Amino acid sequence: MAVYFHEEDLPAGVLAPGPVAVDTETMGLVTARDRLCVVQISDGQGDEHLVRFAVGSDYAAPNLKAVLADPARIKLYHFARFDLAAIEYYLGVVAAPVFCTKIASKLVRTYTDRHGLKNLVEELLGETISKQQQSSDWGAATLSEAQRDYAASDVRFLHRMRDVLIERLEREGRMEMAQACFDFLPTRARLDIAGWADRDIFSHE
């Protein structure tokens, strides 16, 4: 297992075919204000790749964009809504089709309100991750080893968790509902970008 660090784009040919786990690190939680700093990606074979974008980046990244926009590759996220918005806003691609472990968790782990990545990794896989670097300066000129390890851990477990969650979704008869939610997520992200982040357009109000 290794963590590879790249500037401005993913090298060609470093990922095996099939689903890829994806995550992002930004300067904050407001997509249009807080720039995209890092995209993490893994093919589930044991290595993680971090692509860092500098201040003033043009976000060209043709190799990364090709992977993210590939309709034949499922992208695995934890809270896909946020990552999809950041990727579309800064990289200009819709990183779908989608599997979101947070939504899957909410549909099958109805016995708890703890749906964070750390909670899922602990319960479903019996492993522990640290969230200590979650709120740190991802725009710094140099990223610490702790930041790199944290970023890599955000995609390290998603393939294995997806397998467990699919089994539970199918067991509870909720796979079709989950898939419909996943298919809607790029539109939900677009609504966030367009100004409806805090408004539920399906509500009566």
CA 121 and chain centroid, separation: 15
In angstroms, the CA 73 to CA 1 distance is 22
Along the 205 residues of the chain, how does pLDDT read in single tens digits? 899 999 999 999 999 999 999 999 999 999 999 999 999 999 999 999 999 999 999 999 999 999 999 999 999 999 999 999 999 999 999 999 999 999 999 999 999 999 999 999 999 999 998 766 667 899 999 999 999 999 999 999 999 999 999 999 999 999 999 999 999 999 999 999 999 999 899 999 8
In angstroms, the CA 126 to CA 3 distance is 22
In angstroms, the CA 40 to CA 67 distance is 12
In angstroms, the CA 127 to CA 115 distance is 15
In angstroms, the CA 101 to CA 79 distance is 7
Strand partners for 99 = 76
Q: How many CB atoms lie within 10 A of CB 71?
A: 8
Instruction: Judge contact between 138 and 25, C-beta under 8 A.
Output: yes
DSSP H helical ranges for 70-135: 80-91, 101-108, 117-120
Distances (CA, A) of 39 to 18, 49, 152: 18, 8, 10
Distances (CA, A) of 123 to 49, 102, 130, 134, 154: 25, 13, 15, 20, 16
Task: Please name the fold of domain 2-196.
Answer: Nucleotidyltransferase; domain 5 (3.30.420)
Over the stretch 39-54, which tens digit does the pLDDT of each residue have?
999 999 999 999 999 9
Over the stretch 109-127, which tens digit does the pLDDT of each residue have?
999 999 999 999 999 999 9
* C-alpha angle 9-81-28 in degrees, rounded to nearest 5: 65
Q: Which residues contact 175 (CB under 8 A, 6 or more apart)?
A: 166, 169
pTM for the predicted model, two decimal places: 0.95
Strands, sheet with 36-42, edge to edge from the N-terminal-most edge strand: 2-7, 47-52, 36-42, 20-26, 75-77, 98-100
Domain ranges of the chain: 2-196
